[in-house]
Amino acid sequence: METHELVIIGGGAAGLTAAIYGKRAGLDLVVLEKTSHGGQILITNEVENWPGIKAISGPDLAQSFYDHAMSLGVEFRNALVRGITPGEKHHTVHTDAGDIAAKAIIVATGATFRRLGCKGENDLIGAGVSFCAVCDGAFFTDEEVAVIGGGNTAVEEACYLTRFASKVSIVHRRDEFRADRMAIDRALKNEKIVAVWDSVVESIDGEGLVEGITLKNVKTGELSTLPVAGVFVFVGTVPTATFLNGQLDRVDGGWIATDERLQTSVPGIFAAGDVRNTPLRQVVTAAGDGALAAMSAYHFIVTH
């Protein structure tokens, strides 16, 4: 069986930073990624809080992480991980291209977008319902769209969408946004943005294409309709960890539980970045996690 000291699952900010630190520590490692390198920053228009760089496009930052890892000779492989089997001497990572044995594993699979779960959402994905402003924003040039959510993603991506859309309604279930003050101020100053407070989406409506949404005011119970051509759903994230089949302890919400060295409930298996139980999900915290997980894995490998 193919064997490495360290297998890193996920090629986003956490996984690529773990690869950089692991490689520099002299570990024999491979990074497994099911799609493209970069993770969530790949679909982020602009990153404005990566220290040292005032503003950079998400894809450019992702590429710089990847190029850095490649310059050190990191092996990066496209592979879908189907599961892991923890073992005494080594753990086994099951991929669509065969099994890989590893002394240590870092799970850095990130998070995926939470769905609203309302009527019409699943049926109209790709027909007006989107989870990515950078990917789909240009389809709505001179049209009205709705953004659902009140966190940083909703508020920042709403601003991005005003490049294309004639009007962006941010529908939020409370009467104040969760996003940081700077992002909120920028959005509320934008003439194309309208906040729709205290409202949840009852249904996304349309025959084959989104034509509007039905909203319910949570304070009055009143129903109303908002005619829009696009609905961008940004209501938070859920961990990308179904492949783990309950083998690692989780906390509420399914996030992987880790100790202060980022070890999971299984010795030799570490978790880094958005997939783990962390109070802050940012590129910089994911990168910090990647560094710590790599050094913890290094320590585990040389002492076992």
CB 287 within 8 A of CB 14: yes
Nearer to ligand NAP by Cβ, of 152 and 169: the residue is 152
Smallest distance from ligand NAP to CB 18, Å: 20
Distance separating alpha carbons of residues 178 and 149, to the nearest angstrom: 9
Nearer to ligand NAP by Cβ, of 149 and 268: the residue is 149
Residue 132 catalytic? yes
**Helix (H) / strand (E) containing 292:** helix 283-303
Q: Which residues of 52-85 are buried (b: 16+ CB within 10 A; e: fewer)?
A: eeeebebbebbbebbeebeeeebebeebebeebe
Q: Is 56 in the site for ligand NAP (CB under 6 A)?
A: no
Residues written for the chain? 304
Smallest distance from ligand NAP to CB 65, Å: 17
Among residues 67, 135, 180, 259, the one annotated as catalytic is 135
Q: Is 282 in the site for ligand NAP (CB under 6 A)?
A: yes
Smallest distance from ligand NAP to CB 112, Å: 11
From residue 78 to residue 117, the character string flagging contacts with ligand NAP as x (rule: CB under 6 A) and all else as - is --------------------------------------x-
Residue 171 identity: V
Among 10, 120, 149, 288, binds ligand NAP (CB under 6 A): 149
How do strand 81-85 and strand 91-95 relate by DSSP bridges?
antiparallel
Nearer to ligand NAP by Cβ, of 5 and 274: the residue is 274
- Alpha carbon 163 to chain centroid distance? 23
Residue 265 identity: S
Q: Is 49 in the site for ligand NAP (CB under 6 A)?
A: yes
**Residue holding tokens 């609203």?**
116
Q: Is 151 in the site for ligand NAP (CB under 6 A)?
A: yes
Residue 198 catalytic? no
Among residues 28, 99, 132, 198, the one annotated as catalytic is 132
Contacts of 156 (CB under 8 A, 6+ apart): 45, 179, 183, 187
Nearer to ligand NAP by Cβ, of 68 and 186: the residue is 186
Residues noted as catalytic? 132, 135-136
User: What residues line the site for ligand NAP (CB under 6 A)?
Assistant: 49, 116, 148-154, 156, 173-174, 178, 200, 234-237, 280-282
